[in-house]
Each structure stands twice: as structure tokens, then as C-alpha cells.
Amino acid sequence: MPLLFVALHGALLVVGGRHAWLVSLVFLILAPLMAGAACIYRARHGGFARGWIALAIAMLLWAGGMAGNLFSGLVLDSWSGVGALSMLLFILYGVPIILVLAVPEREPWPVRLIDAGLALALGYLFFRHTFALASLADASLSNIVKLRLMFDIENLYIFAFALIRFLASANPAQRAFFGGLSVYAALYLVTAAFINHLHSDVYYGQWPDLVIGLPFLILAGLALADRGGASMPVSLRFGRAVRVGGPLMLPAALLTVSAVLVGAQPLHAIAGCAAAILGYGMRTIWVQVRSLDAHDRLEHLARVDQLTGLGNRRQFDESLRREWLRAQRTGQGLALLMIDIDHFKLLNDSFGHPVGDRRLHEVAQALAGCATRGVDTVARYGGEEFAAILPGATPQHARMLAETMRAAVARLELPSPAPLGYVTVSIGIGHIDQVADGDVAVLAAAADAALYEAKQSGRNRSMTHAATG
């Protein structure tokens, strides 16, 4: 297909005569349009639609710039330079490509907005510098060198970014996209350098035009190629480094272009540097805040029992150790309640685990509602067992709260196959008046012994054991 397209282009150039320029412009509009159509097709059928759509937009922008040249030749009959609109479209061609290369997947919209602003700023600086130098035909030798340098920088960044993303992609769809983009970007880099450095003084309608369309035709073929393929092993560290460092691509490109502009347009260079620093700073702040929020959520999940909403065993263990040390420093007493749902295995076997889970949740809420002091901790200890830590509590207060909890659960009258016909709890109370140098295990052992006694005495009651430490 590419060879046929090039052959037809070349044949029409030969017979085109003085209209050969028109033939070339039509073919150079068709080539990126074909590539764009192939990218859209791949987006709908091949995965990683975001990347292929961005590439299709780039193709449309490039075709638009070439269409501007065609309009200039047909209507204005002027080859003195490229119009502002065409120049802008050629420059903006790289913006969606750089954006999809620099922005990681699944970023929130504020971060994407910042990255889009940086990409547009990069395109604007390219445009300002290029348009200020005018066309290659009218530019001085020094301006021609600067103009070529600017195009080389943009094309080189796109190729380098694409290759890095390809090497870091393990997902087959993404790897296929970045691999295809790397091949296209390499061909486009070489083609643009060939035209700009060796044939910049040759107008459309000559044989070098056959080379210009090749990268687009190759891209169309790659987009329509087999979409299969397995994932490739990629170093986890390298993949993470690229993902974390990817957002640096846009600011780095912006700073590079700004450095090139320092001599010719210092104000634009300063504005570009400021945009790069501020944009990346804002992005970093947003990402860090989001990361801290995610850390807090994970920390919360790590300490909360998902079924009951109470603290989990980890939270209980940490709280008990902390309160034991505090009681040791202050000389205050400490109480521990061990709470067990009576006949819970029978309930699960008779009514099923979903009902058992609901009973656990309902009992947990009743127990938590009784612990009104802010210093008290109610947690799920494990299975059908709960625990409550009561800092500074006297034996009388601990017994009163235990009875309040037991009665609160009984008042719910939750259906159960137990002898009473509803759910009840047994509570063991461990209490220590003054913590010395002992281990917190002595308090837990006292509460366990009291719970065992409560169960042996008929359940649906509370018992107290004193601990020494």
C-alpha cells in the first residue's frame, strides 16, 4: 500500500508538469489523513484508544497545515512564506503527541488540565519562535539554522519520549501503540531533517516530496497491523521510574525550548521557564496531596474491620499497648472487656453466613453506641469476639459499662437459634488498679478468664477478674 501510494504520487509528478506542486500537496494532505483514519480505526478496535485518538488529532493538524499551503497556492498564489495558520497547525501537530507521551494513564482531570496547559505553552513557544523567523525562503542564514533547530528539538523529543514509553510498557495494547509511535517518530525525524537540512530550498512538486509522505503511510500500516501480541517483561523499577518521571517530559521540553529562545526572544524564554516551573510545581502539589489522601485511606482501611466498621485486631493491639504504657506512667487503672456472641456457631450453621455477618454488624453498632467516652476503644477482636479498652476506668465503671453493653444487645432481640431465641453476649472484665512493670498480657489473660467463667456460668452475663502487673 505505501509503495503503491508513492508510485502513484511519483507518476503524477512526472505527468503533472507545471501543476506538479498541486499534485504533491494533494498527496501530502491525503497521507496524514489516511494515517489519521487508520489511527481512529485502531482506537475503536485495538485498545489504548486515548493514544491512538491523540495521534489521529496530530495527523489532522498536520494535514490542516498542508491544506493551508494548498489554499495559499490556489487562492493567494503566493509562495513567499507559509501563512500564520498553517504554521500554527504544523507546530501544534506535536502537542497531542507529547501530551499522551507525558501524561500517565488514569490521572485526575486537574492534573490533566495542568499538563494540557504545559503542552499548549510548549506549542505556543514553538509557534512564536518559528513564525517570528518567517519562512525558510525569507529567513536569514542564522534564522534558518534556528528554525531547523526548533523543528529538530520537537521531533527529537517526540521520538525519545515514545521510545522510553515503549521500553517501559508491559501492557500489549500500550506497547503496540508506543512501538508504532516510535517507528513513526524515528521516520518523521529523519524525513524532516532530510527535507529541512538538504532540500529546504526546493518547492513542492519535486521528487523529495515522495519522501515526506512515507512516515504517514508507514504509520497507517502499523495502525492497521495485527493487534495481537503478548505482554513483555519489563523491569518493575524501570517502569515505575518512567511513570513517575514521565510528567517531567513536558517541563523539560519547555525549558529546552525556552533556553533556545533566550537570545532572540528573552521575554518569551522567561515566560516559558516560569510556566515550566509553576506548572510542574502545581502538578507536584496536587499529586502529593492526592497521595497523602490515598495514604490516609489505606491507613484507615488497615485499621478498620470492613464488616463491622470497628477497629480491627491491629488497631486493638496498638491501642492496648499504648494505654498500658500510659497507665504505667500516670498510675491510673485500666480495664479490658472481652465480649463474645453466645452460640454464634449455631447461628451461622442454622441461618447461614450472610445472616451471621449482619448479626456481627448489628452487635458491633450496639456495643460502640454504649462506649460514650472519647478515650474508650471498641474493636473487633476476631471472629464473633469483640473487645473494649477502658483507660482510667474503675472496676465499678467497667462492670457498669459491661452490663450496659450486654443489655443493649439483648434489647435488640435479634433472632437466633440460641435457647433464649435471640442474640446475647457474654463479657469478661479484666481490671488492673495500677500498672507496674508487668506485661499487658496479664490484663488480657484476666479478661479471657473472666469471659470463660461467664460462659461456663450460663452465658448472657458479665464476670470480673483482677490482674496484677
Q: How many Cα atoms occupy the beta-carbon half-sphere of 134 within 13 Å?
A: 10
* Cell digits of residue 76: 493567494
Catalytic annotation present for 323: no
Beta pairing, strands 385-391 & 334-341:
antiparallel
Q: Between β-strands 462-466 and 425-432, what pairing exists: parallel, antiparallel or unpaired?
A: parallel
Whether the CB-CB separation of 363 and 347 falls below 8 Å is answered with: no
What nine digits make up the cell of 434?
A: 495500677
Burial pattern 175-191, b for ≥16 Cβ within 10 A else e, equals bbbbbbbbbbbbbbbeb
Q: How many other CB atoms are found less than 10 A from the CB of residue 76?
A: 10
Secondary structure class of 179 (helix, strand, coil): helix
Strand (E) or helix (H) holding 222: helix 214-223
DSSP letter string over 44-92?
HHSS-HHHHHHHHHHHHHHHHHHHHHHHIIIII---SS--HHHHHHHHH
| Torsion 165-166-170-172 (CA) sign | positive
| 373: Cα separation from own chain's centroid | 41
Q: Could you say which of 154, 318, 323, 384 is catalytic?
A: 384
Nearest to 56 by CA among 85, 83, 35: 35
**Active site amino acids:** 384
